[in-house]
Each structure stands twice: as structure tokens, then as C-alpha cells.
Structure 1
Amino acid sequence: MVGYILIAVLFGNIGSVMLASLLLRIGSHKLQQLTKHINAFAGGTLLGAAFIGMLPNAVKLGGFQVSYAILGGILFFFLIEKVMLWRICADEHCDRHSKAGALMLMVGDSFHNFLDGIVIAAAFLHSSSFGVVVALSVFAHEIPQEVADFGVMIKSGFSKRKAVFYNLFSGFTAIIGALLAWYWGVYTQMAMPFILAVSAAGFIYIALADLIPELHRRSSFGQSFTQFLLLLAGISVIVVSILTKP
């Protein structure tokens, strides 16, 4: 089991860093348009994973009292966004990037990746197929974040190679979070309803507060329709992944 967890974490976090570094070869205008499309797809995967995967399982395991954990999770992510500039921000000119230096961004991203590792491990402890769904959602929403972070670091004077190294380094905190969640497996299982509820709250918060608002900037009817289709595509990927589980 731990092997599958580590592979999923490497795919979800390290894989997104590597893909984002390859996307930097694209021209800035095309990259901006592509990032909007990735935002739409990622938002769909997050909403699908939260509402179709995490929340039903949380309620099944813990009853409707997990609603308090969902509300608490939303408030928690709001607070850490304010305190740690943790925001998922696909625009390198947003407040998160303009107010924080490159190293501060790495601190926030490291904490975010640590939480991702816990979420992926908890999902695999629930079921392998559900772990794959969560890892896919993490991979999708990390790509636009990493692209924007690369832009900030390069503007701050980092070489592309050094920017990739620092982002990979922050990505490895996900492995620490995953291993801790796996090591404390009994306690993780006991807390599973609340871990799933808080994780769902985080996915919903990221999708609705950070990713989807980016789609409303200067969008024509054609762009909006494409973004809506990509949202549905992201949700559909999660639905298919859950329905086809062994």
C-alpha cells in the first residue's frame, strides 16, 4: 500500500512541477490562455472529487455531523490563505505573488503540498481507487499554481533550473505528509470521516475561491462556453474514475 501511496504523491505533486516546467517553453500569451483552460478542468476535478467522492464517503462513515468539519475546514483554509499566503493563484500578478517573496511562496507551497500528501494517503487508506481519484485532482490543480510560481521566481532572479529545483524541493513535503498519515494508519482510519470532510472543504474552497474566479476575467462567450465544457470534463473524469473502480 505504501508503494502505491508514494507513486500517487509523486504523480500528483512532483509530476505537476515537471509538467509545469515544460509548459514554460510556450509563449506567454498562449500559456495564459492554456492556464485558463487548465483552471477550468482542474476546478471540475476538484468539485467532482469533493461532491461525488469525498463528501458521500465522509457522511457514510461519520454521519451528518461531518458538516461541522466541512464548515470548519472552509474557515481553516480561509485563515491559512490570509496568514501564509497559501492561495492557489494562477496569475503571477495576484496579491499572493506581489506581496510575498519567492522564498515565502515556497514556504506556503510546502505547507500546501504537505496537506496534499496527507489527503492522498488518507484516500488510499480508504480505497485504492479513491486514492487514484484524489491524486488526479491534486495533479490537475497543482499545474496552474506551479506555472505561476515559476514566473514569479524567474522574475525574482532565479534561473529556470533553480526555480525547478526549489519547486521540486517543496513538492517533497507531500511525501512527508503521506508517510506520516500512513504510519499513523490506525488513527488516520479513526479520523477518516473528518479527514475526508476537511479535504473536501479544501477542494471546494480552492475551486470556488481561487480557480473559478480566474475564469471570469475578460472571457468572451466562446471562451466561457469552452471553460464550462472543461469544467464538465473535469467532473466527468472523476465520475468515470469512481464508476469504473474495481
Structure 2
Amino acid sequence: MIGILVAALTFFSTSLGGLAAVRVRDRMHLLLGFSSGAVLGVALFDVFPELISRSRSAGIEVSQAMLFVAVGFLAFFLLEKFTSLHHGPGHGHEHGRKSTDVGMVAAAGLSFHSFLDGVAIGVGFKTDLKLGVAIGIAVLAHDFVDGLNTVTIVLAHGNSLRRALRWLLLDALTPLMGATVALVAPLPSGILPYILGSFVGVFVYIGASDLLPEAREHDSPWPAAATVAGMGLLWGVTRLI
């Protein structure tokens, strides 16, 4: 039940991100920096230690589970590569791509991405309350940026604001769908380390390759401080819960 409630909060996080893309842009680098730190923090301070612990208790070689870290990382690299997701705020015109279809394909990719975020929340809460809360916080921060990117990309490729808001609604609903599927579906303990490994790879990719470069584009030291704050928050959460 808690997992569903946390996933439901991502609806508001994603929606706020999309509305921010329309109305507020001068502080986005700080939000991107904080989100990158939060996502990296949950990968390094919570999911990765849980991966090692669950692998040992299941009698699985850690090196085997680590293979799925690479799988998760590469899967999201390919997802961005083939759906043109890596445009971030302000990048829509830089490549001169104006096809409305490209914008919608990218938005569909982001929605699938958000569905997987919901799956991560569901698996986290099925595994351990602390893990679920940590993943939930990271996903809330990250889905704000997903909503931002959804609206930015759809508009940047010549689509109407109404169409952009429709895609934003879909993107906001998919984490709840993903969490519901993960919480209802059976989860054999033997495959849990591999799932956690893939989540580590996904979160490291999102934090280091997707969000952090966007934050680093600004000369101000504040995005770096926001990144440290995001990591520090997740470190604190994993210690306190």
C-alpha cells in the first residue's frame, strides 16, 4: 500500500516538472543537479549494498549480479540512443530536428522510462521498506525532470502545447502503473539480485550520463552544491530508516 502511495506522488512530481518547463526555466540547473545527486545516491548508498547482501543470501556470485549492472546501464543508453531522449531542457532546437513524430517517439520513450521507475518503486517496497523509501525519493526527484523533458521535447519538435500536455499526463500516470504491476506480480527471491543489479545500472546512467551533464553546463558552483546535497540527503535517508 505504501508503495502505491509513493508511486502516486510521482504523478504530482512529473506534472510539476512539465508545468515548470512552460513557466519556470531559470532555476532548472539547480533541480537537475539535485536530482542527479539523489539518483546517484540511491544507487550507491542503498541499492548497491542491497544487491550485495541479497546476492550472498541467495548464494549467487556477486560478479554474476554485477553483470546486470552493465545490462541496466547499456539498456538505458540504447533507449536514449534510439528514441532521441537525450535532449534535456533547452536542447530541443540545438540539433535542428523539427519532426513532430520525433518528439512523440521521444515522449513515448520517456513514458516507458517512467513506467520502469514505477517498477523500481514496487520492487523496492517488496524487498525492504528502507529500500523502497530511498528509491521513492530518488524517483520523485527524477520524475520531476522527466516531466520537464517530456514537455520540452514535444514542444521543441513542433507539436502543440495541448499535445505536449497529453504526453505529460501519460508520463505522469506510468510510474503508478509500473509500481502496481511490480507489487502484484510474484517476485522469486532467486532473481531479485539480478533485478537490483539492473536498477543500479539504470540509476547510475540516469544520474551520471543524463542529469549531471545538464547541470554542469552552468558556470555557477550552485549546481555542484545541489548535486552534493542530493547525494547527502539520500545518504542520510539510508542511515536513518
TM range (shorter): 0.7 to 0.9
Residue 240 of structure 2 is aligned to residue 244 of structure 1: yes
Matched, 1:53 2:46: yes
Per the alignment, residue 66 of structure 2 pairs with 67
Shift in Å, 1:98: 5.7
Aligned counterparts of 1:202 and 1:89: Cα–Cα separation in 2: 17
Gaps of 5+ in 1: none
2:208 corresponds in structure 1 to 208
Alpha carbon RMSD of aligned pairs, Å? 2.4
Query: What is the distance in 1 between the residues matched to 2:98 and 2:203?
Result: 24
Residues of 2 paired with 1:123 and 1:96: CA distance?
40
Using the alignment, how far apart are the partners of 2:149 and 2:29 within structure 1? 12
**Kept in 2: contact 1:91–1:148 (CA 8 A):** no
**Corresponding residue SS for 2:216:** coil
- Asked whether the 8 Å contact 2:103–2:155 carries over to 1, the reply is no
Deviations 1:106-145 (A, max 9, x none): 2101210121111110100112232121111112122233
2:191 counterpart of 1:191: yes
Whole-angstrom distance in 2 between the partners of 1:76 and 1:62: 22
Q: 74-83 or 109-118, which moves further after superposition? A: 74-83
Give the superposition deviation at 1:234: 0.2
Contact 2:216–2:223, Cα closer than 8 Å, also in 1: no
Indicate which of 160, 163, 166 corresponds to 1:158: 160
> By how many angstroms is 1:36 displaced?
0.7
Amino acid at match of 2:4: L
Question: 4+ runs of 1 displaced by more than 4 Å?
Answer: 94-100
Aligned pairs, number:
232
Q: How does 1:1-246 map to 2 (within 5 A)?
A: 3-12=1-10, 14-24=11-21, 26=23, 31=25, 33-63=26-56, 64-65=62-63, 66-87=65-86, 89-93=88-92, 101-155=102-156, 156-159=158-161, 162-187=163-188, 189-217=189-217, 219-220=218-219, 223=220, 225-245=221-241
Report the Cα offset of residue 75 of structure 1: 1.8
TM-score by length of 1: 0.84
Instruction: Give the whole-Å Cα distance in 1 for the aligned partners of 2:96 and 2:38.
Output: 23
> How far is 1:40 from its partner?
0.6
Worse-superposed segment, 98-107 or 231-240: 98-107
Secondary structure of the 1:90 match is coil
Asked if the contact 1:85–1:96 (Cα under 8 Å) also holds between the matched residues in 2, the reply is no
How far, CA to CA, are the matches of 2:168 and 2:192 in structure 1? 29
Percent identity over the alignment? 22
Quote how far apart the aligned CAs of 1:242 are.
Answer: 1.2
